[in-house]
Structure 1
Amino acid sequence: MTSFSAKIAETRAGARPVVFVVYPDIVLLDLVGPLQVFSHAPDPQTKTNGYACAVVSLNGGMVTTNTVVPIPSEPVSRYLDAEIHTLVVVGGDGANTAMHDTHVLDMVNALAERAQRVCSVCSGALVLAAAGLLNGRRAVTHWDDCATLETGFPEVKVEIDPIYIKDGNVWTSAGITAGIDMALAVVAEDLGRRSALRVARSMVTHMARAGGQSQFSPVLRRQLLDSTGRFEELHHWVADNLCQDLRVEELAAKMNMSARNFARLYTGQMGLTPAKAVEAIRIEVAQDLLETSGKTVKQIAAQCGFNDEERMRRAFMRTLSVSPTDYRRGFRAQGIPKPH
Structure 2
Amino acid sequence: MSNSAKQIYILCYPGFQLLDVAGPADVFAQANEELGRTVYELHYIAEQEKLSSASGLHIVCEPLSTCRAPLDYLFVPGANAEPLFAASERASFIAWLAQHAARANTLCSVCSGSLLLAKAGLLEGKRITSHWAALSHLQQMCPASTVLENNLYVNDGQLWTSAGVLAGVDMALALVARDHNHSLALKIAKNLLAFMFRDGHQPQLSLPISLQEKASDTSLLRLIKWLQDNLAEPINVEKMADYMATSVRSLHRYCQENLQLSPAKLFNELRLEQAKTLLGDKDIPIKQIASECGFADSSAFSKAFSQRHQLSPLQYRHRLYGA
In the superposition, the TM-score normalised over structure 2's length comes to 0.71
Residue 108 of structure 1 pairs with residue 63 of structure 2: no
Residue 72 of structure 1 pairs with residue 60 of structure 2: yes
Residue 313 of structure 1, CA deviation: 2.6
Asked if the contact 1:210/1:322 (under 8 Å) is kept, the reply is no
2:78 to 86, 91, 95: 91
Cα offsets for 1:163-189 (capped at 9, x unmatched): 111111100111301111111110110
Residue 203 of structure 1, CA deviation: 2.4
Residue 285 of structure 1, CA deviation: 4.5
Q: Structure 1's 157 and 41: CA in aligned 2 closer, same or farther, altered over 3 A? A: same
Residue 283 of structure 1 pairs with residue 269 of structure 2: yes
Q: Structure 1's 227 and 302: CA in aligned 2 closer, same or farther, altered over 3 A? A: closer
2:151 to 152, 162, 165: 162
Cα offsets for 1:119-171 (capped at 9, x unmatched): 01111111111112111111111111112112232122111211111111100
Partner of 2:300: 308
Residue 136 of structure 1 pairs with residue 140 of structure 2: no
Q: Structure 1's 309 and 107: CA in aligned 2 closer, same or farther, altered over 3 A? A: same
Q: Structure 1 counterpart of 2:202, which letter?
A: Q
Asked if the contact 1:99/1:130 (under 8 Å) is kept, the reply is yes
Q: Structure 2 counterpart of 1:62, which letter?
A: K
Q: Structure 1's 212 and 103: CA in aligned 2 closer, same or farther, altered over 3 A? A: same
Residue 22 of structure 1, CA deviation: 1.0
Q: Structure 1's 83 and 302: CA in aligned 2 closer, same or farther, altered over 3 A? A: closer
Residue 201 of structure 1, CA deviation: 3.0
Partner of 1:127: 116
Asked if the contact 2:275/2:289 (under 8 Å) is kept, the reply is no
Asked if the contact 1:301/1:312 (under 8 Å) is kept, the reply is no
Partner of 1:145: 134
Q: Distance in 1 between matches of 2:181 and 2:198?
A: 16
Q: Distance in 2 between matches of 1:284 and 1:177?
A: 21
Q: Structure 1's 200 and 134: CA in aligned 2 closer, same or farther, altered over 3 A? A: same
Q: Distance in 1 between matches of 2:122 and 2:114?
A: 9
The percent of aligned pairs where both chains have the same amino acid is: 27
Residue 297 of structure 1 pairs with residue 290 of structure 2: yes
In the superposition, the TM-score normalised over structure 1's length comes to 0.68
Asked if the contact 1:316/1:324 (under 8 Å) is kept, the reply is no
Map residues 37-56 of structure 1 onto 2, 5 A cutoff.
Answer: 37-42=27-32, 47-56=36-45
Partner of 1:30: 20
Cα offsets for 1:3-58 (capped at 9, x unmatched): xxxxx2xxx211111100111111111111111112231499x8512111101112
Q: Structure 2 counterpart of 1:122, which letter?
A: C
CA RMSD across the alignment? 4.2
Q: Structure 1's 55 and 227: CA in aligned 2 closer, same or farther, altered over 3 A? A: same
Partner of 2:177: 188
User: Which 4+ residue blocks in structure 1 deviate beyond 6 angstroms?
Assistant: 239-243, 278-281, 289-292
1:61 to 29, 45, 49: 49
SS class of match (1:41): helix
Q: Structure 1 counterpart of 2:85, which letter?
A: N
Q: How many residues align?
A: 279
Moved more, 195-204 or 68-77: 195-204
Q: Structure 1's 25 and 189: CA in aligned 2 closer, same or farther, altered over 3 A? A: same
Q: Structure 1 counterpart of 2:290, which letter?
A: V
Map residues 250-265 of structure 1 onto 2, 5 A cutoff.
Answer: none
Q: Structure 1's 296 and 114: CA in aligned 2 closer, same or farther, altered over 3 A? A: closer
